[in-house]
Amino acid sequence: MFYELSQKFFFEAAHTLDRELDAEGSRRIHGHTYQAQVTVRGAPHARSAMILDLGDLNAHINRVRNQLDHHFLDEVPGLGPATLESLCAFIYRELLAMVPNVVRVRVERSATGDRCELVSAACIPTPLKVH
């Protein structure tokens, strides 16, 4: 039996975005409050009965959060354009090096209702083969 364990975190950040719609406002430096959620999947360890100690997960998340919180996202190495998709991919890549069973990363801006979710290929069911 497998379980999924999630932890949320928040960060505040500024960025610009080169886009066609709302171009003037997007190209100016502006900021958002972001909420991210990281999900790990696995079987509980026999001794601890935990997939991963939430304290350990929180410590890893804080390492990534510190790269984003109160930063100008355009200047974060390895992020690329400061889109929700790029933020999901960045958080996933950074955490995967420390927490190999990360299966999902969600980033949202609840003030605007925008949300993006990266789902690891390990979560996508394989189609059944019909013989």
| Residue given tokens 């995967």 in the structure block | 96
User: Structural domains in the chain?
Assistant: 3-123 (3.30.479.10)
pLDDT at 17: 81
- What percentage of residues in the chain have a pLDDT greater than 90? 74
The set of residues, in sequence order, having a beta carbon less than 8 Å from that of 80 and lying 6+ positions away, is: 86, 90
Please provide the DSSP assignment of 56-100 as one string: HHHHHHHHHHHHHTTEEGGGSTTT-S--HHHHHHHHHHHHHTT-T
pLDDT at 124: 57
More confident residue, 6 or 121: 6
62 pLDDT tier (thresholds 50, 70, 90): very high
Query: Could you identify the residue written with the tokens 């969600």?
Result: 106
pLDDT digits (tens, 9 = 90+) for 84-120: 999 999 999 999 999 999 999 999 999 889 999 999 9
Query: Considering the entire predicted model, what is its pTM?
Result: 0.87
Confidence class for position 12, pLDDT limits 50, 70, 90: very high
In terms of Cα–Cα distance, which of 56, 47, 39 is closest to 2? 39
Whether the pLDDT of residue 23 is over 80: the answer is no
Three-state DSSP class for residue 9:
strand
Once rounded to an integer, what is the mean pLDDT over residues 49-60? 95
Q: Are 99 and 40 contacting, i.e. CB atoms less than 8 angstroms apart? A: yes
The residue among 79, 60, 57 whose CA lies nearest residue 68 is 79
| Model pLDDT, residue 22 | 62
